[in-house]
Amino acid sequence: MNTIVSVSWEKLPLELLQLADPSVTMIQSYLQTGHCFALMQQEEYLGVMVLAEQRPDQIEIKNIAIAPQHQQKGYGKQLLLHALHYARTQQYRSILIATGNSSIHQLALYQKMGFELHTIRKNFFLEHYPEPLFENGIPCKHQVVLIQEINR
Ligand code: COA
């Protein structure tokens, strides 16, 4: 039995946050002002998620990660459903998530969960990250923004 709890930012393990975002500088830029959630099984952190308001009517999933040994068991979907529920109950009109052009499984998951392709921020990772990033044998250069409309 696991449970999603709202926690203060200091409680989120950095090693889990870094699975989703290799830049500690980037993580620090949204962590303290974000709404932080942990997926817990007793004392164990199965996953983490950080949401942050982008505009008065839009919230963004800034970080979502499941511990490697617990991936592909449905926990990522569970956290995404929680984010959608939170956004709906807080009266946001849309929810945004951004990922890399090379994040094939994430792009599949987010679209299965109702997010739609919105924008490509060309060269985002080349400009904001010091080291070249690769995933699935693909250079990660561009950021893909997906949005789901809610409360319409
Ligand atoms: N291979 C194939 N499909 C995968 C996959 C993989 N390695 N990882 C995720 N998926 C997709 C599938 O589409 C699957 O859909 P299905 O159930 O219809 O087959 C779905 O995601 C599985 O969902 P779930 O088990 O809930 O995913 P998860 O618990 O592994 O969580 C992530 C997904 C992305 C949060 C998790 O893999 C993770 O933490 N990855 C590292 C950090 C990261 O990339 N965060 C997102 C940054 S934008």
Å from CA of 20 to ligand 1 middle: 11
Interval 16-52: pLDDT, tens: 999 999 889 999 999 999 999 999 999 999 999 999 9
Ligand 1 atom nearest residue 73's Cα: 25
Tell me, what's the pLDDT at 82? 98
Closest-CA residue, ligand 1 atom 15, reads 109
Neighbours of 69 (CB within 10 A): 7
Give SS3 for 38.
strand
pLDDT confidence of 152, banded at 50, 70, 90?
A: confident
List, chain by chain if needed, residues with CB within 6 Å of any ligand 1 atom.
Answer: 19-20, 64-66, 71-77, 99, 103, 105-106, 108-109, 112
**What pLDDT is attached to residue 1?**
87
What would the mean pLDDT of 12-19 be, rounded to a whole number?
97
Q: Whose CA is nearest to atom 43 of ligand 1?
A: 20
pLDDT above 90 covers a percentage of the chain that reads 95
Q: Where residue 107 falls among pLDDT bands split at 50, 70, 90?
A: very high
Local confidence band at 151 (pLDDT 50, 70, 90 cut-offs): confident
Average pLDDT, the chain: 96
Chain position carrying tokens 């929810």: 95
Ligand 1: atom nearest CA of 98 is 48
pLDDT at 142: 98
pLDDT tens digits along 45-90 = 999 999 999 999 999 999 999 999 999 999 999 999 999 999 999 9
**What integer is the mean pLDDT of 3-9?**
98
Give the start-end residues of each E strand in the chain: 3-7, 35-41, 44-55, 58-66, 94-100, 116-121, 134-135, 138-139, 143-149
Instruction: Give the contacts of 70 (CB within 8 A, at least 6 positions apart).
Output: 46, 47
